[in-house]
């Protein structure tokens, strides 16, 4: 009887923890969706992001720094007559423009070493998939797969990368990778993005989610799923997952569908929850592992990609833009195949940001496709208050050049405590 009481008490505690976690997720989802209109313009991000976008997209690329420099030199004389403060200010601004005009592409930072393992990266010729629509030139968020012998691509088509009510999801297919036929187009007046294609129980499934169509925020609203049996005919989208959830990666392994997503106020005041769940039908999801909880991380990380090693263990990488107690930049995760729901992370975040990460397994390596920036993300002094660090890191990083790269993720045994050299 005593043993039964102890076992019942422990089980009840475990069940209570699971129920509390699920209640927390439901409450957070409902809260985010209920105040979506307030969140669309209520945070500092609502003004900061559009300003940085305008500065980098419309102003900086169209400036001739040398012409601006000489114009300021000419104006410095007349302006100095008006006030003694004008001359130093103009000289400082002219000096900045002179420095900008000499910028060249910096060398690869020492914090991202060259890959030590041999891997051939073959780049073929480019083929245009979308139709040339002058008003919809932002074609991104691409997913590609093969289904029943045909190549299938799904992507977001819009007038801008920022949330827009002109956004739509397009699905095209091909049997030769050169000639593409548009099979399905969906729009509902919201911004739509982040397509994910995967096969489950003989059906091709497509996930994507909607955002409020306002340029000053990224606020996920609802997740949609559509299916096809032949790549040409698609069902009407149905709502899946939680409101406000943002699925980032879906993979199928041994008949089980795994999903990594995040839920919370990205660049807001609250924490972000990273969720890792499994499904057998691609529609209903449940926690992975022994804890009974879908939450594998709390903090500032979003955009989490994962992959399974040859031994069946899990590795994951997440963009740590909002920051947490480990710093800013990128965080790496590991989970043993014995408990895929128990994620461990580095003691310190990798200081570089690998935006929009996608992990894939090759014959001998875990390969990462992501953006490439030469400078670390954590540039603000650590003695500043946390929210000021977050703001200044975002502002400084927005002004730096970026491209894309293919990386190798070293085995977890080589990561150490801070991930030095883990991404090559």
Q: Are 293 and 305 in contact (CB under 8 A)?
A: no
pLDDT at 6 over 50: no
Q: Are 343 and 396 in contact (CB under 8 A)?
A: no
Do residues 158 and 234 both lie within one domain? yes
Do residues 161 and 64 both lie within one domain? no
* pLDDT attached to residue 41: 36
Do residues 65 and 184 both lie within one domain? no
Q: List, as own/partner pairs, every contact residues 182-186 make where C-beta atoms lie below 8 angstroms and the sequence separation is at least 24, other chains included.
A: 182/131, 183/231, 183/232, 183/234, 184/226, 184/228, 184/234, 186/226, 186/237
* pLDDT attached to residue 279: 97
Do residues 171 and 85 both lie within one domain? no
pLDDT at 48 over 80: no
Do residues 280 and 394 both lie within one domain? yes
pTM: 0.81
Q: Are 86 and 76 in contact (CB under 8 A)?
A: yes
pLDDT at 65 over 90: no
**Which residue is listed with tokens 């894309």?**
404
Classify residue 2: in a domain, yes or no: no
Q: What are phi and psi of 396, to 5 degrees?
A: -65, -45
Count of domains in the chain? 3
pLDDT at 7 over 60: no
Give the pLDDT band (50/70/90) at residue 27.
low
DSSP 203-217: EEEEEEEEE-S-TT-
Do residues 264 and 176 both lie within one domain? no
* pLDDT attached to residue 254: 94
Do residues 268 and 405 both lie within one domain? yes
User: Containing H/E element for 33?
Assistant: helix 2-34
- 321-207-229 Cα angle (round to 5): 155
Average pLDDT over residues 271-297: 94
Average pLDDT over residues 255-275: 88
- Domain around 322: 253-424
Classify residue 38: in a domain, yes or no: no
Average pLDDT for the chain: 84
Do residues 236 and 309 both lie within one domain? no
Q: Using one digit for the tens of pLDDT, what is the confidence trace for 343-358?
A: 999 999 999 999 999 9
Do residues 402 and 289 both lie within one domain? yes
Q: Using one digit for the tens of pLDDT, what is the confidence trace for 94-129?
A: 777 677 666 666 778 888 888 876 666 677 778 889
- 292-303-252 Cα angle (round to 5): 60
Q: Are 294 and 280 in contact (CB under 8 A)?
A: no
Other beta carbons within 10 Å of 190 = 17
pLDDT at 284 over 80: yes
Classify residue 13: in a domain, yes or no: no
| Most confident among 11-15, 77-81, 144-148 (mean pLDDT) | 144-148
3-state DSSP assignment of residue 5? helix
If phi > 0 it is left, if psi is from -120 to 50 it is alpha, else beta; for residue 44 that is alpha
* pLDDT attached to residue 115: 84
Q: Using one digit for the tens of pLDDT, what is the confidence trace for 365-415?
A: 899 999 999 889 989 999 999 989 998 998 888 878 889 999 999 999 999
- Residue closest to 106 by CA, chosen among 375, 399, 376: 375
* pLDDT attached to residue 402: 86
Q: How far is CA 329 from the centre of its chain?
A: 12
* pLDDT attached to residue 23: 64
* pLDDT attached to residue 42: 39
* pLDDT attached to residue 8: 30
Indicate which CATH number applies to the domain containing 201. Answer: 2.120.10.10
Do residues 140 and 261 both lie within one domain? no
Classify residue 157: in a domain, yes or no: yes
Classify residue 400: in a domain, yes or no: yes
Do residues 228 and 267 both lie within one domain? no
Single residue among 240, 264, 297 that ends a domain in this structure: 240
Do residues 64 and 178 both lie within one domain? no
pLDDT at 176 over 60: yes
* pLDDT attached to residue 104: 67
Classify residue 384: in a domain, yes or no: yes
* pLDDT attached to residue 15: 36
Classify residue 245: in a domain, yes or no: no
Classify residue 106: in a domain, yes or no: no
User: CB-based contacts of 162: which residues, under 8 Å, 6+ apart?
Assistant: 49, 50, 53, 215
């Amino acid at each position: 009887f005593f043993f039964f009481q102890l076992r019942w008490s422990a089980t009840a505690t475990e069940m209570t923890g699971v129920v509390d976690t699920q209640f927390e997720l439901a409450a957070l989802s409902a809260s985010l969706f209920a105040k979506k209109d307030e969140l669309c313009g209520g945070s500092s991000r609502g003004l900061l992001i559009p300003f940085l976008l305008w500065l980098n997209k419309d102003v900086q690329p169209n400036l001739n720094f040398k012409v601006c420099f000489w114009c300021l030199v000419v104006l410095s004389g007349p302006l100095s007559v008006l006030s003694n403060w004008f001359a130093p200010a103009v000289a400082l601004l002219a000096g900045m423009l002179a420095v900008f005009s000499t910028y060249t592409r910096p060398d690869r930072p020492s914090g991202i070493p060259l890959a030590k393992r041999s891997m051939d990266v073959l780049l073929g010729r480019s083929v245009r998939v979308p139709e040339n629509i002058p008003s919809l030139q932002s074609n991104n968020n691409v997913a590609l797969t093969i289904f029943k012998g045909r190549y299938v691509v799904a992507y977001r088509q819009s007038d801008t990368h920022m949330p827009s009510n002109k956004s739509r999801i397009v699905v095209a297919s091909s049997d030769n990778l050169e000639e593409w036929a548009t099979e399905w187009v969906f729009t509902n007046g919201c911004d739509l993005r982040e397509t994910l294609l995967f096969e489950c129980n003989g059906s091709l499934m497509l996930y994507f989610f909607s955002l409020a169509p306002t340029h000053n925020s990224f606020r996920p609203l609802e997740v949609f799923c559509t299916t096809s049996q032949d790549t040409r005919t698609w069902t009407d989208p149905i709502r899946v997952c939680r409101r406000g959830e943002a699925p980032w990666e879906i993979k199928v392994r041994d008949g089980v569908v795994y999903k990594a997503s995040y839920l919370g106020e990205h660049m807001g005041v609250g924490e972000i929850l990273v969720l890792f769940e499994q499904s057998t039908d691609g529609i209903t999801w449940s926690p992975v592992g022994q804890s009974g909880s879908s939450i594998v991380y709390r903090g500032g990380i979003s955009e989490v990609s994962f992959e399974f090693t040859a031994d069946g263990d899990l590795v994951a990488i997440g963009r740590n833009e909002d920051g947490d107690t480990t710093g800013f930049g990128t965080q790496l995760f590991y989970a043993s195949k014995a408990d895929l729901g128990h994620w461990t992370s580095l003691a310190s975040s990798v200081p570089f940001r690998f935006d929009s990460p996608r992990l894939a397994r090759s014959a001998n390596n875990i390969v990462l496709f992501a953006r490439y920036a030469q400078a670390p993300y954590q540039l603000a002094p650590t003695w500043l208050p946390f929210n000021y660090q977050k703001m200044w890191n975002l502002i400084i990083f927005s002004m730096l050049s970026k491209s894309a790269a293919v990386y190798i993720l070293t085995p977890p045994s080589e990561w150490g405590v801070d991930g030095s050299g883990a991404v090559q």
